[in-house]
Chain A
Amino acid sequence: MSRSNWLKTTAMTAALAGAVFASGTAAAENFKVGYAGGFTGYLAPYDQPSLKGVQLAIDEINAAGGIGGTMPIELIVKDTRSDTAQAAVVAQELVDDGVSVMIVSCDVDPAVASGVIAQAAEIPSVSSCASTPTLPAAVGPYMFSNYTADNLQATVLASYAREQGLENAYVLLSRDTPYTEKLPEYFAEVFAAMGGNVVAVGEFTIGQQDFSAEVTNIKGLDPQPDVIMTAAYEPDFPAFLKQLRAAGITAQVLGSDGIDSPTTFGLGDVAEGVVFSNAGFPSEGSPLAAYEAAYEAKYGEPNDTVFTATGYDAMLVIAAAVEAAGSTDGAAIRDAWDNLENVQVATGTMTYKGQNRVPVRVVALNQVSGGERVHVGDFTPDPSQIPAP
């Protein structure tokens, strides 16, 4: 090791040590937002993109002087390592750090673990991308959802199917995760409520690969289903779809945002015509297209997942709630948040008023056509049609 290298190393080590013992000294007027996310571990594919979106939103807000033009946002990020016990510890640390709002993980267990800590401290919290609609009710009045709820997506899919004149549905679900179980169940509920006929409900195990039993079962149904809905994703969805089409079943297939991945578009003919929901489509001139451009400008690479946009949305909603409250008091922010209507965000608009803290937001429908994504339309369902969680 050369002398200059040695000096550099020493300086780095000293600086690191200093960093360890230095305490954060932030200006008093900053608005502190804490993010207790799973940035390593199984939640990293969701919480890391969400964080990028949150940081982009904060950059834009702070560039304009902060919330309301006067209150810059300071973000404190802590990694839960996707561990439920750590999620509670980290949330408590954020409370101790004096955050006014907390963003928590994408999965229900750690989100609840963090949320109950924030609830006890009367600090509003929001899960960046958990889609289980029961989450806010499970924690209490200070907990909010952000991401498109399972029952919301299901409602849009069911309405679409009915509008297309589809009468007989087959629903395939897996009880392995709440997402793969509840979303198809909500679909079946709405589809039936709109006058459709749910012919049968099939079950699979995540990763089972062989769907011959289910496909045979579908072939034997009377009446034959003209729409098949599932919330399965890779590797189950491609396997199921191939075996379904190989058996000569041509019914319309509906999927959810779990299949919004390059794999689906690379499946070729079998995927042709599949319709799936997600949180937004960046059509030309839309806010989402503008967001995508801003994202690429900041990070130097195109956005590759919708979770960055929904993270961005969450931060905009927080800013809107604080601005509406005109205060940094937890209870005031909570009340203002609960009454937000038509907040303009990257993916469209979001409304919390009258929704028990689970927002109504735009659901986009997309169709696979020639290996490309074709925008079917953006839908904001009538709240009365959304099934109770």
Chain B
Amino acid sequence: MSHIDGQTGKSGRGTAGFVASGTLAGSALLFVPIAIFSLVAWQTFGSAPQGTVTHFLIITIAVLGFSVFTGNTGVVSFGHAAFMGLAAHITGVLTMPVAQKGVFLPDLPPWLAGVEMNFLLAGLIALVIVTVIAFVIGIPIARLGGASASIATLGLLIIVYGVIVGARDYTRGSQALIGVPKTVDIPVALIFLGVAILLARIFRDSLPGLELRAMREDEPAARAIGVNVQGRRLLAWTVSAAIAALAGVLLAHFLGVYSPKEFYFQITFAILVMLIAGGMTSVSGAVVGAVLVTVLIDVLRGVEENINANWFSEPTVFGLTDIGLSLAILAVLFWRRDGLFGFWEIEELWGGWRRWFGLRAPSEVAPSQASRIDQGGALKIENVAKAFGGLRAVDGANLELRPGEIVGLIGPNGSGKTTLLGCISGALDLTAGKVVLDGTDISDLPAHRIARRRVGRTFQNIRLFAHLTVIENVKAALAASGTRLAPGAMDARARALLNELGIASYAPRRAGTLAYGLQRRLEIARALALEPRYLLLDEPAAGMNETESDELLGILGHLRESRGLGLLVVDHDLRLIMRLCDRVVVLNRGQVIAEGVPGEVQANPDVIEAYLGKRRAATRTTSAPPLGD
């Protein structure tokens, strides 16, 4: 009985220890090989290749910064180099020796001119300042999605570049900052890379991360399971900006000399190339992409230099590095459209051990998800209307649904059934009327708030989080609904829900790879994760054959029995509706034209007319054969 009632809102949610074993294993699988290589390089390499390794470690952190936002939200960011540049210039001005400041930054205010911090303190200050700035900038950006958000980040990059160039007294304008202490070597960069990998993985695997990835797959569906899209995006934006700022600080103290253009388009595209090659959507992809591109560049560079030294000393040939890199990236994208790692994390591919653990059914845990709901209250739709321009898709509909009741909503195509569901669930704004839940008007609440008030829904065209696993689909909903559980218990709860729908054995599969009927069931399981009092099902039997729809009938009936929830079922399968429902409501042209027990409705002349047209109806009323047979 450990769900939190949706009405208590989001306070104190989702913070229970979320460092799962997969998170740690995945981080270690990425970090340990890099750490071993880097430490060997540190002990044995000359200082030139050591520079390459250090630079690689720092750029990998930057790629992780981009990835935490881009990978989890699906919005490609062009703007994170701005945070790197801001952080680099802040730490630069704080750490530059006082004597150097007199030469290069003579117009600094006195309180800054005398400051000469060590790089850890200065870096921390830069990190805090940039994170706060990112949070503020993120508030409007988080409202946007898709391409418009990407364009906004591009604008951010250009604006911040302009600000850094414009703040000449502090940054030397477009000229290079010179004399920033070069304190970052392999061990320093390696430690921070470890922190960044762990942070990125913890975030990805956390409940907010899961909600974000759900949103990345399908935003309306995520709202329908209660995900606060803007809030989660803002969180990802801020965390990713902090990681990017960390990379900026380290890069500053690695280069020692840099100007604003160092943190502009060139580095942005270099980082995006790594991200695209490795896989935009996973932490492993980000890290492996950085490794791949760095190794490729260095190998190609060696080839190019040897060709120039031994073959064509004149004319010297350049560009092999760029050409080779471009071809390699094209090849990766040709064979693996989503990058090397696609949507997977490294430990998920690593011998399938996690899958093996995952498949071990949690026999000892039988979570009490099937709590019966008290029978009071009702979901009332009062004179609801929804107009799209001049078309009134729903026109003053009234309907009441009580817990434990199954109501069928039928009507010809275009009669407004799906629109009505959208109005109830908050996906659509009402033009008139109101939706009242247990005596409270919920008409103006956004979709995710209505979901948290325990009104679940499924969609006419299936809206699963296709690239998340089956169990993650359910866990995302558990997380979004405010369920606070340890990772193990969360898994068990999700598995129990899958079990209830008979699809537990598919838990580790990608949702998008399931057969159609199974996807429908998963959608219901996901909706049940909200512990709904009311569930709105939009054509749950669409596309199912007779056996499948019979099984569905059994499952829905069982749900009503075991949970006592109220079901509003839209379907064209009249056989299913007539057998399943206590009451049937018929909608035509946005208005309720009939309501009653299935037998009554079936014989109603208005209904027959709406379905079959006037003349046919007239001939059929006399004999009154049952509809839907």
Contacts and interface: CB of A to CB of B under 8 A. Distances in A.
Interface in B287-330: 301-311, 314, 316, 318-319, 321-322
B255 A81 contact: no
Given A20-B306, A112-B176, A96 B48 contact: yes
Q: How large is the interface on A (under 10, 10 to 19, 20 to 34, 35 or more residues)?
A: 35 or more
A137 to B, nearest CB: 8
B314 A112 contact: no
A84 B310 CA distance: 27
A95 B48 CA distance: 9
B286 to A, nearest CB: 19
B307 A85 contact: no
B48 A93 contact: yes
A181 B176 contact: no
Interface string A24-49: 10000000000000011110100010
Q: How large is the interface on B (under 10, 10 to 19, 20 to 34, 35 or more residues)?
A: 35 or more
A109 interface: yes
Interface in B165-221: 165-166, 168, 173-176, 178-179
Interface stretch (A71-79, A314-322, A323-331, A347-355): A71-79
Interface stretch (B235-243, B257-265, B373-381, B407-415): B257-265
Nearest to A22: B310
Contacts, number: 108
Given A78-B305, A84-B255, A116-B257, A108 B176 contact: yes
A19 B305 CA distance: 9
The 10 lowest CB-CB distance pairs between A and B, nearest first, are A92-B48, A39-B318, A112-B257, A89-B51, A93-B48, A19-B306, A85-B55, A138-B178, A178-B175, A19-B310
Interface in A228-250: none
Given A175-B174, A178-B174, A108 B310 contact: no
Given A39-B318, A85-B51, A92-B51, A113 B174 contact: no
Interface string A348-385: 00000000000000000000000000000000000000
Contacts of B176: 108-109, 112, 138
Interface in A45-77: 48, 51, 55, 76-77
For the complex, would chain A's binding face be called helix, strand, loop or mixed by DSSP majority?
helix
Nearest to A174: B174
Given A108-B176, A137-B103, 15 more contacts: A16-B303, A41-B266, A44-B318, A55-B316, A78-B305, A81-B321, A84-B262, A86-B55, A92-B51, A96-B48, A109-B176, A109-B258, A109-B261, A112-B257, A181-B174
A20 B302 contact: yes
A88 interface: yes
A55 B301 CA distance: 21
A44 B304 CA distance: 16
A176 interface: yes
B259 A108 contact: yes
Given A40-B318, A84-B257, A19 B311 contact: yes
A177 interface: yes
Contact of B321 (A40, A48, A177): A40
B314 to A, nearest CB: 6
B547 interface: no
Interface in A146-178: 175-178
Interface string A170-199: 000001111001000000000000000000
Interface of A: 15-16, 19-22, 24, 39-42, 44, 48, 51, 55, 76-79, 81-86, 88-90, 92-93, 95-96, 108-109, 112-113, 116, 132, 137-138, 175-178, 181
B46 A177 contact: no
Nearest to A115: B257
A349 B256 CA distance: 35
B316 A77 contact: yes
A79 B321 CA distance: 10
17 contacts: A21-B306, A39-B318, A40-B318, A55-B314, A81-B321, A85-B255, A89-B51, A89-B52, A90-B48, A93-B48, A108-B175, A109-B258, A109-B261, A112-B176, A113-B255, A132-B175, A175-B168
Interface string B48-68: 110110010000000000000
A178 B47 CA distance: 31
B322 A81 contact: yes
Nearest to B259: A109
Contacts of A89: 48-49, 51-52, 55
Nearest to B182: A116
Nearest to B56: A85
A181 B173 contact: yes
Contacts of A82: 266
B69 interface: no
Contacts of B302: 20
A179 B315 CA distance: 31
